[in-house]
Amino acid sequence: MSYGFLLESVWHPPLAFAETTMRALPPELELQALWFAGAFGREFRSSCGKKVKVVQFGEWNRGEGPDFMHAAVEIDGEMRRGPLELDPAPEAWEAHGHAVNPSFKDVILHVVFQTSARQYFTRTCENREVVQIVISEAQLADALNRPMREVAIAHPGRCVYPLKNIASAGVERLLREAAVHRAQLKASRWLKVAEAHGRDAALFFSCAETLGYGGNALAMRLLAQRAPLDAMRVEADSMEAVLFGVAGFLEPGLHERAEPEARDYLRNLWEQWWKCRSRYEFAGHRAIPWKTYGQRPANHPHRRVGTLAALISAWPQFRKLAFARPFEVKPMVDFLHALEHPFWSRRHTLTSAASARQVAVFGRSQAMELAANHLIPLAMHEDGMDFRTYHKLRQSTPNDKVKRCSLRLFGSTKAAAPWLRRVCHHQALLQVYQDFCLEDFSDCSNCPFPEQLQQWK
């Protein structure tokens, strides 16, 4: 039995679970980031049956008007260039006043994420119809890496700890297949982004998202999209100032509130940002939503932006290691851990005092997360790493997500201990947990997973 067959056997029977209502959409800013990254692909069918192919995703609009500018879209073979607008649902075009707003008269494509009981036509103030495409719930679930159903038990029942009593050989085989399955999914998503923006940009997005951790993953992804790698490498002298400016962290009097030894650095950032501000600054309503509370000092978003700047400065060496075939994890992790920055190697925020000892700008655990979630899946897809090599990689400490998964699947950290030592097993546990028992919404007394799982013995 393969992992894919297990998924099919559990989820295929149409009467096993009642269909849930449509899930809530994520924030509009996240939908925009996913679209721009190419997470939904390039080719679509419009609501009226036309073939739509996105040739260029354009640029983020920094001010009022449509969400993206200077896009190129092929509609039934005809090339069109202009702005794109994204809305949660078709009726939002009228509700938001786009139909009478001259700023939207050149829009070439309207992207929505829900259908409506009524039929809506997207028309401009000149009464021109705008082609509309609908991103399906399945496409959105894939891009967001959502579970297949929201069907876990709300209270302990017969499905609790499904791996606890399976022989080690069966668990090993299940986790191997789950790890390979997860790697294939991650590689597929990464390649969509690379196809839309190129391999270097996809790698840059991956690094930014990894540096954002859980709380600021979206914010860092937005920063990488709005201050793209190619532009930052051209703006080498002012690159760091642009990153902090686009992030929204710079203001005129900031250096006056900082520690004396930080004032020159901050004054220089502001002076450089002022010169190029008109080309990069975003309006307030498009500001990046940072989370600055509840973070460890080393994870403060100021430091993460500083780390991104240090990484850009060392990009040629890093990309060589990241795309090496065969791919070796240790040299890449060692390289990232050795990165230094004259300011950020000893500070946690723009205005904080220097720490007594040096702090790694890119920690080893974050470097391993980058490898596990992005670089290893890509390398395995491109025959740059085999599973045997992947299986050898050790993980010192499981993160909170992996601990949660192991407790749910094995019942205790002691029972799960043999499966918490390797990177591939961590990834496998996350996948099994997601595929079969992630969301605590409904009673799973009829769940077929335990019976199907017996075949792994």
Supply the pLDDT for residue 23: 75
pLDDT of residue 445: 59
239 occurs within a structural domain: yes
In terms of domains, do 138 and 173 share one?
Answer: no
Instruction: From residue 284, give the alpha-carbon distance in Å to each of 64, 78, 88, 281, 401.
Output: 10, 36, 21, 9, 34
Domain-terminating residue out of 371, 389, 407: 389
Whether residue 304 sits in one domain with residue 211: yes
Residue 192 lies in a domain: no
Residue 412 zone, left/alpha/beta (φ > 0; ψ -120 to 50; rest): beta
Contact (CB, 8 A) for 383 and 224 = no
List Cβ neighbours of 97 (8 Å cut-off, separation of 6 or more): none
Query: Does residue 21 fall inside a structural domain?
Result: no
Structural domain including 100 reads 28-144
The pLDDT value given to residue 159: 58
Please indicate, yes or no, whether residues 111 and 61 belong to a single structural domain of this protein.
yes
Domain assignment present for 138: yes
pLDDT at 270: 96
Report if residue 20 sits inside a domain: no
Q: Please check whether residues 281 and 267 belong to one and the same domain.
A: yes
Q: Could you tell me if residue 242 is inside a domain?
A: yes
pLDDT score at 17 = 45
Whether 384 and 398 map to the same domain: the answer is: no
Question: Do residue 43 and residue 110 come from a single domain?
Answer: yes
pLDDT, one tens digit per residue, over 51-106 is 999 999 999 999 999 999 999 999 999 999 999 999 999 999 999 999 999 999 99
Provide the pLDDT for residue 442: 43
Tell the residue number behind the tokens 């992947």, with chain if given: 390
Judgement on whether residues 413 and 346 belong to the same structural domain of the protein: no
Domain count, the chain: 3
Does 134 lie in the same domain as 63? yes
User: Which segments in the chain show pLDDT lower than 50?
Assistant: 14-20, 151-157, 439-443
| Apex 323 CA angle, 364 and 315, nearest 5 | 70
- Are the C-beta atoms of 244 and 273 separated by less than 8 Å? yes
Residues 427 and 377 in one domain: no
Give CA–CA dist 235/55, Å, rounded.
26
- Domain co-membership, 171 together with 60: no
Q: Which two tokens stand for residue 363?
A: 């920690």
Q: Do 358 and 402 fall into the same domain?
A: no
Q: Give yes or no: residues 264 and 207 share one domain.
A: yes
- Residues whose CB is less than 8 angstroms from the CB of residue 65 and which lie 6 or more positions away in sequence, other chains included: 83, 101, 103, 104
Among 342, 359, 389, give the residue marking a domain's end.
Answer: 389
pLDDT given for residue 15 in this prediction = 41
Of 292, 287, 203, nearest in space to 245 by CA: 287
Residue 261 is assigned to a structural domain of this protein: yes
Phi-psi region of 287 (alpha: psi -120 to 50; beta: other; left: phi over 0): beta
Q: Is 279 exposed, middle or buried (0-12, 13-18, 19+ CB in 10 A)?
A: exposed
Which is it for strands 51-56 and 68-75: parallel, antiparallel or unpaired? antiparallel
Choose one of 389, 418, 436: the last residue of a domain.
389
355 within domain boundaries: yes
Supply the pTM of this predicted model: 0.93
